[in-house]
Amino acid sequence: MSESEARPTNFIRQIIDADLDSGKHKSVHTRFPPEPNGYLHIGHAKSICLNFGIAQDYQGQCNLRFDDTNPEKEDIEYVESIKNDVNWLGFDWSGEICYSSNYFDKLYGFAVELINKGLAYVDELSPEQMREYRGNLTEPGKPSPYRDRSVAENLELFEKMKNGEVEEGIMSLRAKIDMASSFMVLRDPVIYRVRFATHHQTGDKWCIYPMYDFTHCISDALEGITHSICTLEFQDNRRLYDWVLDNITIDCQPRQYEFSRLNLEYTVMSKRKLNQLVTDNLVSGWDDPRMPTVSGLRRRGFTSASIREFCKRIGVTKQENTIEMSSLESCIRDDLNENAPRAMAVLDPVKIVIENFTGDAEVLTVSNHPNKPEMGTREVPFTREIWIEREDFREEANKKYKRLVLGKEVRLRGAYVIKAERIEKDAEGNITTIFCSYDNETLGVNPSDGRKVKGVIHWVSADAGLPAEIRLYDRLFTVANPAASDDFVSVINPESLTVLNGFVEPSLKTAEAEKALQFERTGYFCVDNKDSSAEKLVFNRTVGLRDTWAKIGD
């Protein structure tokens, strides 16, 4: 990450400052603990920037730990994608990658310790019965009829669970805390369940798996985490986090802190809903450029610097809110306006024939960035036949229209002034060709007789231009809060992807995947990192030059 990126401050960093000043901690050790059951989204990026950024700024450590206690939903594909996303965002983890499964033996031992202390018991209530016994927010729960089993019986049954002698759903191990607690999480939560599933790290060694709330705090303690940072939905779980650590024999006792999760307009952040979009083929995959996943944003052309800047701008608080999509788009526009080289592409082409251009093709030198001469120049062929945007020509127009009009002049970007003389149309009345003349004395200069030509349009040589598929991506949903809809699929934007066949200047033949470009007067684009090839160029629109949704509203 760039050293020039300003160091932020927030309530968590203030807590860390106080802990270091008081001597409570001599160093800082954080962790990022994703569950490998899907791809990371931009909400995870906020957590990554927070946890890894703190470790970086305080010269501490940050572990990457996979919370892999649910093998039925996990996959090594997700493990690899998460590692790639963390690195791409500009961070690296301390030491070896950690897995909760590394601690399965110790976790089992701590569960046995709780049984021996009379603080855990094997229950035979079904999941439905357990919900019934748990009570609700206004009524206390009632104890399971199995709650007062002896230590010896609990140890024997838990051993049977471990040895595969108990079917799934028949028994579970529960912590014995308080069925009348005002906090539902403390009403004898399940801490182990039977699952006959092959684990991507441990294979078939285990058929019982610990629950997240039991695993997470112990993993933090075993790794020496000083500040365990998570989102606000785990605020009540902190009581269980502390209870577990208070009642087992372990040296380190980390402290959990909660911050508000990222909610972003026109997206869903639920992994379940994101997975539904993928499995129902409503998008092309987890890395579809319309998805809020890190890999989707990357494929669309977002830079890691722009996402880090976005996370810095929105800050870290305890206040739940929803961030406008325009805030994210502003970050990438600011980045690319400064750093993206320019190029020309015609998305909806109509042909121009310059009738008085009779020589060989000219090679023009064009600047790669209007304000950055250090970004150099490129060569653009100028030929008798060129493509322009169909919307850049009108047969008639008022004075506000600054593009090409029949009988009038316009300047071609980096080239000459041309005048539209006549047109040809097909049988349906569509313009097929615009015949023009050009003033060969106007390359880089105004007409010598003082004529004022105000409009400038982009173009691509019809002879040398390269055909390209242009994918115009827009917001995936038509409403700002799709999660609030009864059926979030029903508010998918039918125009979230428009595919056009256009032409790009020949310099883009070797453009790198994900490398940002500004197509003059059109928007910011990048070469698709999956579908583009030398035989078929594919460009994804990252974002338009301006926010068109601001005018439309919700």
Confidence of residue 449 (pLDDT cuts 50, 70, 90): confident
Residues 435 and 352: their CA atoms lie apart, in Å, by: 6
Residues 433 and 486: their CA atoms lie apart, in Å, by: 50
Residue 228, in any domain of the structure: yes
pLDDT of residue 277: 97
Residues belonging to the binding site are 35-37, 41-47, 67, 212, 231, 261-262, 269-271
Mean pLDDT along residues 409-438: 96
Domain match, 83 and 226 both:
yes
Instruction: Note every long-range contact of 450-455, with CB atoms under 8 Å and residues 24 or more positions apart, other chains counting.
Output: 451/409, 453/409, 453/410, 453/411, 453/417, 454/402, 455/401, 455/402, 455/403, 455/404, 455/410, 455/411
Residues 306 and 205: their CA atoms lie apart, in Å, by: 43
Confidence of residue 5 (pLDDT cuts 50, 70, 90): low
Strand ranges (DSSP E) for 79-213? 98-99, 120-123, 172-175, 190-194, 208-210
SS3 label, residue 233: helix
Residues 334 and 524: their CA atoms lie apart, in Å, by: 11
Does the pLDDT value for residue 546 go beyond 90? no
Domain match, 350 and 446 both:
yes
Residues 381 and 400: their CA atoms lie apart, in Å, by: 30
Catalytic residue among 271, 273, 402, 515: 271
- What is the signed CA dihedral for 416, 421, 424, 430, rounded to 10 degrees? 70
Does the pLDDT value for residue 355 go beyond 60? yes
Residues belonging to the binding site for L-glutamine are 67, 212
For the record, the structure tokens of 184 come out as 């539902």
Does the pLDDT value for residue 551 go beyond 90? no
For the record, the structure tokens of 27 come out as 């160093």
Residue 333, in any domain of the structure: no
Q: Enter the DSSP assignment of 395.
A: S
Residues 66 and 99: their CA atoms lie apart, in Å, by: 5
Domain match, 320 and 362 both:
no
Residues 444 and 233: their CA atoms lie apart, in Å, by: 61
Residue 337, in any domain of the structure: no
298 catalytic? Reply is: no
In the chain, the amino acid numbered 503 is F
pLDDT of residue 320: 87
Domain match, 164 and 269 both:
no
Does the pLDDT value for residue 419 go beyond 80? yes
Mean pLDDT along residues 481-506: 96
Domain match, 140 and 285 both:
no
pLDDT of residue 454: 86
Residue 5, in any domain of the structure: no
Mean pLDDT along residues 46-73: 97
Confidence of residue 489 (pLDDT cuts 50, 70, 90): very high
pLDDT of residue 219: 98
Residues 536 and 377: their CA atoms lie apart, in Å, by: 25
Residues 540 and 478: their CA atoms lie apart, in Å, by: 20
Domain match, 87 and 221 both:
yes
pLDDT of residue 550: 59
Residues belonging to the binding site for ATP are 35-37, 41-47, 231, 261-262, 269-271
Q: Give the number of other Cβ atoms within 10 Å of residue 91's Cβ.
A: 21
Q: How far is CA 414 from the centre of its chain?
A: 37
pLDDT of residue 375: 96
Q: Name residue 199's beta-bridge partners.
A: 203
Domain match, 218 and 95 both:
yes
pLDDT of residue 554: 37
Residue 47, in any domain of the structure: yes
Is the distance from CB of 470 to CB of 499 less than 8 angstroms? yes
Mean pLDDT along residues 421-441: 96
Give the tens place of pLDDT for each residue, 121-137. 999 999 999 999 999 99
Catalytic residue among 106, 147, 195, 261: 261
Task: Please count the structural domains in the chain.
Answer: 4
Does the pLDDT value for residue 31 go beyond 50? yes
Does the pLDDT value for residue 16 go beyond 50? yes
Residues spanned by the domain of 394: 345-458
Tell me how long the chain is: 554
pLDDT over 90 for what percent of the chain? 94
pLDDT averaged over the chain?
95
Q: Name residue 230's beta-bridge partners.
A: 258
Confidence of residue 257 (pLDDT cuts 50, 70, 90): very high
Domain match, 64 and 120 both:
no
162 catalytic? Reply is: no
CATH code of the domain in which 542 resides:
2.40.240.10
Confidence of residue 553 (pLDDT cuts 50, 70, 90): very low
Give the tens place of pLDDT for each residue, 212-245. 999 999 999 999 999 999 999 999 999 999 999 9
271 catalytic? Reply is: yes
